Structure 1
């Protein structure tokens, strides 16, 4: 059995461990933020740069002037980043060595409105300003404004998820309420798409027409391809 001296030694050992743990934790919390690291979650072109994110944090007195880890409000930092017009989502944490790390997901444009004002429509159907760092290669949108551009969102979303359409469609024009014409890369004909209904059927019909016309070497023979008539493609020759 453990004698009185043994109990005292055990008590002192436990007390020492608790003290050291508490001291280390207090010291860890009091450590200053040593640096900021911004990690983008994809490898696409940057619409916002690491320098721009760092500038935002510095302007809001985050990780500047030797701020301590204990006083740093991570929710506030995430809120600041998520309010940035080019950021879709940001997750922030502090490493054991005092580094503030931010994992940033950018907003993804899928169409660009051209007119009196220019802006993107992003993959969530929200308006997105142009970037000073990079211009996205997305279909140009004509005849829209901030109030009507969301009409074309279902069409843009479908195009974005289809490799063939992404490669070939360069322009969408609004010719009437919820009715659209499409322009193709290196093609003289206009595609009369109509409204944003039966999107998959219309594009499948178009792909079948394109494949057949390409095989027959007749893509240059048409000036209009109409997809508005149900399960058929109506073409007008030059």
Structure 2
């Protein structure tokens, strides 16, 4: 399965990229240990795409690198998205990238949202800005969002939030993988799955037993 990590950090090194890498590593560990899923991880650095994103708004065509990033996000089985906090919200670069994404690209896709900032006072950006954005894009956002303020690095709490959020994303991705398994072979009319005869009608691989027969079985 493919995990795409979108980081909107601007500096080098970047605490946003650091948080993105820790989340990706935790998702990889959980996928391997909990559900035996092998993940292909790709990181999209929006800092490197800023010029192409701006050009896309003016000419309507993505550059090669931006087109590859948009395709990776569209084809991903799950996303980790991380932004620095600017003016009590996600960064303009972060929002611009998702503005140029096709409107249905994230529909039904599991997403883990995270942010970094200089103060814990900005932690509500996850709930009042990021979660509504991805809900509008019809993504499935994991319950635990991760915020890392400057004082959180090396302190208690952040590693536990990272692990919990990673586990939730893996669970959603594993459910998506299971949903893609082939449907069971249809059961012939009048035959149970084990080959015995059944009283009922087969429909879509299941035997439908009339309600009257179910009541009669309970009376016996």
The two structures have a TM-score, normalised by structure 1, of 0.21
Normalized per residue, which structure has more helix? 2
Decide which structure has the larger Cα Rg and report it.
1
Higher relative contact order (Cα pairs below 8 Å, separated by 6+ residues): 2
The two structures have a TM-score, normalised by structure 2, of 0.22
